Amino acid sequence: MIVNKTITSLAILLLLNISASGVRTKLHRRLVETSNDVKGICQLMVETQGYACEEHKVTTEDGYILSLQRIPTGRSNSKKGAKAPVLLQHGLISDASTWLDSPDQSLGFILADNGFDVWLANVRGTSYSSGHTSLTPDSSDYWNWSWDELAIYDLPAFFRYVHDKTGQKLHYVGHSLGTLMALGAFSREEVLNIARSAAMLSPIAYMGQMLSPLARAAADLFIADALYWLGLKKFAPGGGAASKLLKDICTTIDCTSIENAITGPNCCLNSSSSLSKQQPTATKNMIHLAQMIRKGTIEMYDYGNGDDNNKHYGQGTPPAYNMTSIPNDLPLFLGYGGQDLLSDVKDVQTLIDTLSDHDPNKLVLLYREDYAHLDFVHGTNANQVVYDPLMAFFERN
C-alpha cells in the first residue's frame, strides 16, 4: 500500500512538473507560431486524407472565439439532398483531432462517408480556439472558467451556429467531458429545440465512484486547487517540451501504462499516439472535476464557502444540474465500457438510474466489456462495434 501511494505521488509530481514547464514553453511557442500562418485542422488532418473541409468560427456570448470544422461530403460524394448535420464534441485536454485518426477507423470520416454533414467542435482554451474579443490566452482572466461555461456558452454557440448554417436540427456525439457538457446543457433546457438526438461515448456525469487511481488521488490531494492558488490558471498537461519529455520517457517505460492508470486498460488502441495530442484546459475546470469526484454530485463550480457561492449564485451552495429534467423523449445513446476507469460502470449506472423514466424506445445502451475510455474514439474496431450501431440509431431518429 505504502509503495503504491509513493508511486502515485511520484507520478503526480511528474505530471505537475510537466504542466509547469509546459506553460513556459507553450508561451514561447505561441510567440513563434503567431508570426507564421498557423495551419488549422482542415489543412492538417482532413484535406490530407482527401476530404473537402471548411473552417468556421463562432463567438460565444462571453467573448470566446471558437473554431469548428465542417466535412460536408464523404469520399464517394454519392448522397444527394439535405444531409443530417452531426456535431462532434471532444473530451478533456483534447480537440477535434480525436475524431480524425484515419478514414477507416475514425468517426469524423466514417460519418462523412455515410452521408452525414459533419461538424467538429474545439472548446475554448484549445490551440484551435484560443481567440477572444478582448482577452489573450496569456492573461489569467482568459482561463477563468470551468465546464459550466463549456455547457452554458460553448456548446449552445456550436449548436446554434450549425443550426443557422444548415437549417436543420442536429445529431450530437460527445466523448467524455463532451458528454458532461451536453448533459449539463440539456438539463438546463438549453438547445433542446434544435437537438435531434445525442450519443454519449464514455459518459461522464456522476464521478463519485471513479476508479482511476491517478485521477482519484489527484482529486483527494486537492492538486488542482494547489496549482490554482500558486497562480497557474492554465492547466497544460502535454505542451511543448512536456510532450517531448513524455515521449522520451515513453521510449524507456511503457507509456500505455501511464495512460492506462488514468483511463483504464484500453483494449484496442493502434498506438499510444493520443498522448501527443493533449491540449490545455483551465485549472478551474480541473478543480471543478475534482469537486465532483470528491462529492459525487453534479453541481456548478463550488467557490468553497457560503458567502462566495451567494455572490455568484444567490444561494449558499452551488446550483445542481438535474439529470431527471432531461426530457424523456430526447433520443439518447449511451456507449460505455467495462474497463473504463473514468466513466466507471457504477457511475454510469447511477446516470442510467436517474433516466429510469426515459421513454425506453428513445434510450439505447451499448455496453462493451473489453472497452476502456479511449477505445470509444481510438479503438481499431470501434467502427464495427460502436459506430455502426450509433449510425443506425441516428437513422432511426
Ligand X SMILES: *[C@@H]1O[C@H](CO)[C@@H](O)[C@H](O)[C@H]1NC(C)=O
Catalytic positions = 176, 340, 373
Q: Which of 317, 322, 349, 384 binds ligand X (CB under 6 A)?
A: 322
Q: Judged by CB, which is closer to ligand X: 209, or 380?
A: 380
- Give the three cell numbers for residue 230: 500558486
Residue 127-166 contact track with ligand X, rule CB under 6 A, x = bound: --------------x--x----------------------
Q: How many Å apart are CA 216 and CA 218, to the nearest integer?
A: 5
Triad 85, 90, 92: Cα angle to 5°: 160
Considering the complex, what minimum distance in angstroms separates the CB of residue 188 from ligand X? 11
Q: Strand 64-71 and strand 131-132: pairing?
A: antiparallel
Is 324 a binding residue for ligand X by CB under 6 A? The answer is yes
Number of residues in contact with ligand X, rule: CB under 6 A? 8
Q: Quote the least distance from Cβ 4 to ligand X, whole Å.
A: 33
Minimum CB separation from ligand X for residue 56, in Å? 27
Share of the chain residues as helix, strand and coil, in percent rounded to the nearest 5 = 50, 15, 35
- In the complex, the smallest distance separating the C-beta of residue 312 from ligand X, rounded to whole angstroms, is 6
* C-alpha grid cell, residue 229: 492558488
DSSP state string for 294-338 = HH---BSPP-SSHHHHHHHHSSSSPPBP-GGGS-TTS-EEEEEET
Q: Output the nine-digit C-alpha cell for 285.
A: 475546470
Stretch that binds ligand X, among 30-38, 153-161, 210-218, 319-327 (CB under 6 A): 319-327
Listed ranges 65-73, 155-163, 317-325, 330-338: which one lies at the site for ligand X (CB under 6 A): 317-325
Using alpha carbons, select from 88, 44, 117, 52 the residue that is nearest to residue 377. Answer: 88
Least Cα distance to 269 among 371, 384, 387, 200 occurs for 371
Separation CA 24–CA 241 (nearest Å): 9
Q: Which three cell numbers stand for residue 322?
A: 438535474
380 near ligand X, rule: CB under 6 A: yes
- Sequence length of the chain is 397
328 is an interface residue for ligand X by CB under 6 A: no
In whole angstroms, the minimum distance from the beta carbon of 168 to ligand X comes to: 28
Of the candidates 325, 353, 367, 384, which one interacts with ligand X according to CB under 6 A?
A: 325
Between 265 and 304, how does the x/- string for binding to ligand X read (CB under 6 A)?
-----x----------------------------------
Minimum CB distance to ligand X smaller for 77 or for 270: 270
- Quote the DSSP letter at residue 80: -
SS3 (DSSP) at 365: strand
Question: Binding string to ligand X for residues 190 to 219, with x set by CB under 6 A, is what?
Answer: ------------------------------
Number of other CB atoms surrounding residue 349 within 10 Å: 13
Binding site for ligand X (CB under 6 A): 102, 141, 144, 270, 322, 324-325, 380
